[in-house]
Structure 1
Amino acid sequence: MMICVWLVLLYTHITSANINNVSYTIRIYSNLAEIIRPLDKLPLEFADDDWNHIRSDSITLFGGNVNIKLQTITEQKKALNGTEVYIRSPISSDAAIKLIKGIIIDEANNIVKIHDESIAGQQALYITVPYNQIYYLEEPTKPKHYVNFTYTASDSNLFVSYLQSNLNWRTQYQLNLNHNESDLIAMANIRNDARSSVFIDQAELICGDINLQIHQIQYDRSFRKYRSGSESHNQQQANSMQTVFADTMSPVIVEQGKELAGLYVFSIEQPFIINGKANYLLPMFHPQVSVERFGLISKTFSTMPMHGKAQRSYRLRSDQYLSHGNCIIREHDRVVGEISLPNLAANDKYEFSIGEDANIIYKENAVLISLSTFNETESMMKDSLEKNLPLGAPITRARYIYTIHLQVKNFKTREVQIEYEQKGFHSYNTVKLVTIDNDQFIQDGSSIKSNITLQANTTENYIYTVELIR
């Protein structure tokens, strides 16, 4: 027997064949899942295929005052050294393949001992054979992994917890817009990347800004490949993806989300099974949402003439927390765009754009009407006196006065709402809206904004003036 002992994480995998085992909880994140189950007899045994999905540094044992003194992981594999095999003869050709008997001498390096009189008479030869040219008389066994603990505890009811990478989940949305009605449908898309089915007795879907990495799993896989001398040992065969929807006769319900330490937890109390290489889709919350449509003209200030099209934009509000997820947008039953929704608090707003609107165009021209310079001495003296600093040389500033001429055209046969934003005054120290043609333009920080209602098939012209200092 070949035995390798190293610190790693246990992996518990329950298939549909043994769903009557003790119940356990799965907490599923966007890229990992945490398994929590009662600690059964020791040591625990796991197949190598299951082991590939384990993050080895996340093992933990908890319960009544548990004190772990030692944890060992043992990998055991039946040694192939001394096994009789067939290999392709070195003098074979593609037209005439010849197999000869041999004995594996060093399985890690695929060294085989052969006797072939046609090559070396009675003398034994030791050759390195590619792994795919070794033919076994019986199926080679894969390693098994055993987990054991030495511990003390005041309570016999103990639990083991660990992370694994084959289970993950994400929220996916359908936003349906028809006239003044808005309907947002949320689905939980749970993915099982393992080959075998997984039975889930109860689960929690957890979302939010969570920093869980899978690097340790990847490291463990690389370690085993290096040790075995063959990458094929851990390569997974490609399986076609399946999508499974919840059975309407026995519905699995995702409970209302609850806030926990800045995260949100969605509970599933009913048991269900996810087949290998499959996605399991469950209906989640159905929030009340409001959606405003508008054309967005958001641009960076430039002294050169500018023109462009408004963006097809939306402002979304929900009465419930929305977890991060992909969202397909439909208007009047037609797909009009796709976005990635962020984690959004209840009653907060999220603005997004999904493309240009060819029927709303704008032209803008900035005209310099005044340029002057001044020395910034008074403010420098005041600042230096307050901070008890020596006076420096005065700084010469430049003051620019620009008149902005904006023209907006609406080629639609209906009224539109347009939101205008002039930003990007990065090369200037201060920005000030000094005179305006009307009260439609306001200053918001270093940006100039306006809300415009444009009637069908009309063109409107606007003027405002800004003072820029650099």
Structure 2
Amino acid sequence: MTNPDFYEFSEPKYLYSIINKKKPIESISWSPQYDLNILSDDCRHTFQSFAEITNGTKQEYKINRTELFGGDVCLQKENGTKRRRNRSRSRSRSLSDTSDDDDDEDEFNSIDIIPTIGVLGELAGLYLYSIDQPFLLLPNSSFVLPFINATIQISKCVSLTLPFSSHTQIRKLQRKYCIESIDKFLLTASITIRATGHLAGVTTLPNMDVSDKHTFSYGQDPDVTLNRQVKLISKERHSAMYAVHLTFKNVKSIPVKFEYREIIDNSNTQSKIIIKGSDEQRAQIQVIENGIQIENKNSTDNHHSMLAANGGEQIYEYEINLNHSKKSNSYRKRRREE
């Protein structure tokens, strides 16, 4: 019987202990995977997690028990240098193909249940998981197990962030989901998103502690548009004033939440923004340090503004005065000398 130690790197590799000497086995790997299925417009969903263990070798591994460490593990190479990556470590006991232990062989021959992965808790800043039932890794195959039973909360909206431009633009808004972990630490992993069973996209979740939130985009929404009209009011040598008219439109059969940010490059420019329109419109535009953002301050649901269904529109207006920094004589002199 041999006693291997398994380690998972960013590109997972396992270390196999033979006569107390660790050697990397690059063809064996494991990784968590998530599957999110959005069932309705109000974000009812199912969330499943899996651990996939892949044996890319020609050898069969019979595992009695495995412990998986999730988190940031620092390992030292044989030449003394250190590598610090987001990785997991696993410690296992296994049988070799040539084992003569009849009792252990009988244990594997009688396997009739799917092993489960338990959460053992936190240890020195790492998260510890265990597989306590025996399982078999066949040569050149993958072994998939249910992973942690985690609860998440989902919210969705359409969103757009643009740099300020003096030109008129027509844009589609981006679809976004926000995921919040409610009760479990989630290891970084690939997540497949489905809408009522149909594939909507694949992205990567970072490491998420309880109450952490992660927002990701998954493409344009063709039914929600922004028509951004810009008119030059006045212009001087080092300044200009523009009137900006924003029209958001939703042609879906359901209302949607939306958010918008417009960013001004303040590195060489000073800006002053004057909000126009009705009291309700002005209440939803917030002047921030480097531009504007649109949010519904009266909403209790993530501060998103709403677009009504079947052609619903929201209109916002503001004026912006841009003053460009004047170059000093010393700056011009340095430029000529260069």
- TM value normalised by structure 2: 0.72
Q: CA deviation at 1:362?
A: 1.0
What's the secondary structure of 2:117's corresponding residue? coil
Matched with 2:315 is 461
Q: CA deviation at 1:26?
A: 2.7
> How far apart in 1 are the matches of 2:76 and 2:321?
50
CA deviations 1:374-431 (Å, max 9, x no partner) are: xxxxxxxxxxxxxxxxxxxxxxxx4443332101111112211111111252664444
Q: Does 1:321 align with 2:182?
A: no
Matched with 1:188 is 51
Q: CA deviation at 1:372?
A: 5.6
Pairwise CA RMSD:
3.0
Q: Does 1:439 align with 2:279?
A: no
Matched with 1:178 is 39
Largest Rg, 1 or 2: 1
The residue identity in structure 2 corresponding to 1:178 is L
Q: Quick one: which of 217, 224, 241 aligns to 1:360?
A: 224
Q: Quick one: which of 241, 247, 250 aligns to 1:401?
A: 241
Contact 1:25–1:202 under 8 Å retained in 2: no
Q: Does 1:450 align with 2:303?
A: no
| C-alpha spacing 1:270/1:469, structure 2 compared with 1 (3 Å) | farther
> How far apart in 2 are the matches of 1:403 and 1:321?
47
Matched with 1:91 is none
> How far apart in 2 are the matches of 1:257 and 1:405?
56
Segments of 5+ residues of structure 2 without an aligned counterpart are: 80-109, 296-304, 325-338
Structure with a larger share of its residues in strand: 2
| C-alpha spacing 1:462/1:26, structure 2 compared with 1 (3 Å) | same
Segments of 5+ residues of structure 1 without an aligned counterpart are: 1-20, 45-158, 217-246, 374-397
> How far apart in 1 are the matches of 2:271 and 2:209?
33
Matched with 2:141 is 278
Matched with 2:8 is 28
Q: Quick one: which of 3, 12, 24 aligns to 1:163?
A: 24
The residue identity in structure 2 corresponding to 1:440 is Q
Superposed counterparts of 1:168-247, under 5 Å: 168-179=29-40, 180=42, 181-209=44-72
What's the secondary structure of 2:119's corresponding residue? coil
Matched with 2:100 is none
CA deviations 1:319-367 (Å, max 9, x no partner) are: 2222122111111222222212222222111111111111111111233
| C-alpha spacing 1:192/1:344, structure 2 compared with 1 (3 Å) | same
Matched with 2:259 is 419
CA deviations 1:53-83 (Å, max 9, x no partner) are: xxxxxxxxxxxxxxxxxxxxxxxxxxxxxxx
> How far apart in 2 are the matches of 1:34 and 1:415?
50
Amino-acid identity (%): 25
The residue identity in structure 2 corresponding to 1:408 is F
- TM value normalised by structure 1: 0.53
CA deviations 1:9-57 (Å, max 9, x no partner) are: xxxxxxxxxxxx15454343443445475x7xxxx5xxxxxxxxxxxxx
Contact 1:363–1:408 under 8 Å retained in 2: yes
Q: Quick one: which of 193, 200, 207 aligns to 1:336?
A: 200
Matched with 1:49 is none
| C-alpha spacing 1:444/1:267, structure 2 compared with 1 (3 Å) | farther
CA deviations 1:71-117 (Å, max 9, x no partner) are: xxxxxxxxxxxxxxxxxxxxxxxxxxxxxxxxxxxxxxxxxxxxxxx
Matched with 2:151 is 288
